[in-house]
Amino acid sequence: MHEAKTNLSKLVELALQGEDIILAKSGKALVRLVPVETEERPVGLHASPLSDTEAQAALDPLSDEELGFNDSSF
């Protein structure tokens, strides 16, 4: 494990190149170092499944009734 800490940058580079990197401690395999698969995502806002009215209603403050307050609780 100490060797992995010392050489982490090199190990990451090897994993990015397709090498199978397995980190072990006391001869026992613990983890595999693999590249993260990235997907191309457009930059910006994602289309909302809500209409403009629904989106605005979701941002509006809740009423006392929706929060569970009523005149008898005060």
**How does residue 39 score in pLDDT terms, banded at 50, 70 and 90?**
confident
For residues 66 and 70, what is the distance between their CA atoms, to the nearest angstrom?
A: 10
Question: How long, in residues, is the chain?
Answer: 74
Sequence-distant (6+) residues with CB within 8 A of 23 are: 1, 4, 29, 30, 31, 32, 33
pTM > 0.85: no
Residue 73 in this model has a pLDDT that exceeds 60: no
Domain ranges, ordered by start, for the chain: 1-36
